[in-house]
Amino acid sequence: MPSDEYLKAVTIGNVEELKEKVTLCEYNNMWAELFQKEQDKIGKALKGNFISIEHVGSTSVPGLCAKPILDILLLVRDSRDEFMYVPALEKAGYVLKIREPEWYEHRMMKKFSPEVNLHVFSKGCVEADRMIAFRNRLRTHEKDREQYASVKRNLAEKSWKYMQNYADAKSEIVAEIFQHMKDNIV
């Protein structure tokens, strides 16, 4: 779990503390429609200067409870080359909030209406592949999806200083589901 110092070091601006518990909603079909609209806006803003745009995270998995925040994965040629995508995305309403050079050169941009976390990685990044594989597993394996939802609900009942603390607390169940994938458990 990242330390408070790490979160402060990679966050552009202040790290926002949670004022209340994490809110989970039941799956909403509108999330897929909102993703399509954001995908179009991102694509137009970048004028083809990207590799792919994927809906990831819990809002991309029908039947899974989620925070009502879209997670979108954007693959570009080189996420370190912020000049190639940040200004265009800022014009489209996104704000650069996270810069993690030590973690796959991850960048995270935020938009608030609708609320979106836009995760930017470079082409070929193994973490991006993991995000897609995890999404696909939850879409196709009900038992894993239900187990993941149960853990999420339990964790949402707790108080967390930062949203990242809640996300990191899911690491054990995520690792377990990846082990199911590796062991080919149906």
The residues, ordered by sequence, that sit 6+ positions from 88 with a Cβ below 8 Å of its Cβ are 45, 46, 47, 49
The model's pTM is 0.95
Nearest to 110 by CA among 129, 86, 146: 86
Are 177 and 144 spatial neighbours (Cβ–Cβ below 8 Å)? Answer: yes
Domains present along the chain, CATH in parentheses: 4-182 (3.30.460.10)
Q: Among all chains, which residue has been given the structure tokens 């989970």?
A: 24
Distance of CA 99 to the CA centre of its chain: 14
Q: Is the pLDDT of residue 186 over 80?
A: no
Distance of CA 157 to the CA centre of its chain: 21
Q: Is the pLDDT of residue 136 over 80?
A: yes
Please report how the helices 171-182 and 126-140 are oriented relative to each other, as an axis angle in degrees rounded to 10: 80
Question: What's the pLDDT tens digit per position in 87-119?
Answer: 999 999 999 999 999 999 999 999 999 999 999
Q: pLDDT confidence of 178, banded at 50, 70, 90?
A: very high
Q: Is the pLDDT of residue 184 over 90?
A: no
Q: Is the pLDDT of residue 1 over 70?
A: no
The average pLDDT across 145-167 equals: 97
Question: What's the pLDDT tens digit per position in 19-74?
Answer: 999 999 999 999 999 999 999 999 999 999 999 999 999 999 999 999 999 999 99
Q: How many CB atoms lie within 10 A of CB 116?
A: 22
Q: Residues of 41-72 as b/e, b for ≥16 C-beta within 10 angstroms? A: bbeebbeeebeebbbbbbbbbeebbbbebbbb
Distance of CA 106 to the CA centre of its chain: 11
Q: pLDDT confidence of 3, banded at 50, 70, 90?
A: confident
Mean pLDDT, the chain, whole residue set: 96
Are 117 and 69 spatial neighbours (Cβ–Cβ below 8 Å)? Answer: yes
Rounded Cα distance between 96 and 120, Å, is 10
Q: Is the pLDDT of residue 124 over 90?
A: yes
